[in-house]
Amino acid sequence: MRICALAMLVTLAAVTRPAAAQWYVGLELGAAQYGGSARDTSGNPHAGPGGATTVGLRVERSIGRLRGALRLSYGKPGFSVSGEGIRITDKTAGQLIESAALVSFRVGGIGPSGAVRAELGPALHLWKVGDEFRARLGAVGAAAYEWPVAGRFSGAIRLEGALSKSWFDAADLPPEYERRVTWRYGVTSGLRHRL
C-alpha cells in the first residue's frame, strides 16, 4: 500500500514542474471482465470476480507528450463460479474500488487531431467482501485514443488490462482450490475537461 502511495506521489511530482502544463478532470464509464483468483485443481470450475460496469473519476496533468493521471473507479463485479459451460454470478457478494497512478505518453495519432497514447502504472484494488476490505497491489496497462469534442472538452476510449494477487485469502477456499492471479480486461470511455 505504501508503494502505491509513493508511486502516486512520484507521478504527480514528475509532472508538476512549472512549465506549459495543463490540468484535466474527467469522468469515465467502463465495462470490465475479471478472471483468475481461484481454480479447482480436481476439475473445471473456477471462482473469482464476475463482470462489472465501472464508474471513474480521473485527474490528469500533462507537460508536452508526458502525462500523469490519478484515477479512482468503482464497480460491483460480485462473485462468480464457472465451469462446464455455465457461469453463476452473485452481484451482492463483492464490490471493488480501484485507485491507479498512471503515466502516459503519445505513441501516434489518427487523423489531424486524434492521439494514441500508452499508459502504465501501479494500482491498488480494495475488494470488499461482506464488511471486510482486502487490499491488493497490482499493475494497469492501457492503450487509449483521444480526440477533441468541443472547446475545452475531449473524449477518450481505452482498452486496458490489470493484474493483481488473488483476491481470495487461503481460508476462503476449499482445500481443492488453488489461488491464482486476478486479471481484468475491459474498455472505458470518458469525457474530460481542460482546466
- What's 105's domain CATH number? 2.40.160.20
**Count of structural domains, the chain:** 1
pLDDT at 90: 77
Are 88 and 48 spatial neighbours (Cβ–Cβ below 8 Å)? Answer: no
Q: What mean pLDDT is reported for the chain?
A: 85
18 pLDDT exceeds 50?
A: no
List the end-to-end C-alpha distance of the chain, in Å, as a whole number.
Answer: 30
Residues 40-49 have a mean pLDDT of 74
Q: How confident is the model at residue 75 (pLDDT cuts 50, 70, 90)?
A: very high
Angle at 153 between CA 148 and CA 159, to 5 degrees: 65
% pLDDT > 70, the chain: 89
Residues 69-94 have a mean pLDDT of 83
pLDDT at 91: 74
pLDDT at 27: 98
11 pLDDT exceeds 80?
A: no
Range in 2-11, 38-47, 170-179 with the lowest mean pLDDT: 2-11
Interval 91-150: pLDDT, tens: 777 889 999 999 999 999 887 788 999 999 999 999 887 788 889 999 999 999 999 999
- Nearest CA among 27, 117, 138 for reference residue 72: 27
| Residue 36 belongs to domain spanning | 2-16+24-194
Written as nine digits, the cell of 131 is 464488511
User: The whole model's pTM is what?
Assistant: 0.79
